[in-house]
Amino acid sequence: MHRAFALAISTVVLTSAATWAGSAAADPPNIKGAYGFTGTAGCLVAPGNVPGATPLPNPTPGVALPNSGFNDKLQPNDNSTGPTSAYSRSFSVEGIRTFNGDGTGTVKGTAVGFVGRPTPGPDGFPHFPPSADAADFSFSFTYTVGADGSWTATMTPGTYTETFTAGPRNGQTATVDAIPPVSGMISRDGETLIAVHIAPVVETHTYSNGDVDPQICHRSRVFIKLRDHDDDRDGDQH
Give pLDDT, residue 28: 57
Within its chain, how far is the Cα of 53 from the centroid?
39
Length of the chain equals 238
* pLDDT over threshold 60, residue 26: no
Mean pLDDT within 165-178: 98
HEC sequence for 143-163? EEECCCCEEEEEECCCCCEEE
* pLDDT over threshold 70, residue 136: yes
pLDDT in tens, 68-81: 999 999 999 998 66
Amino acid at 22: G
* pLDDT over threshold 50, residue 237: no
DSSP β-ladder status, 182-186 and 173-176: unpaired
- The proportion of the chain whose per-residue pLDDT surpasses 90, expressed as a percent, equals 80
The mean pLDDT of the chain is 87
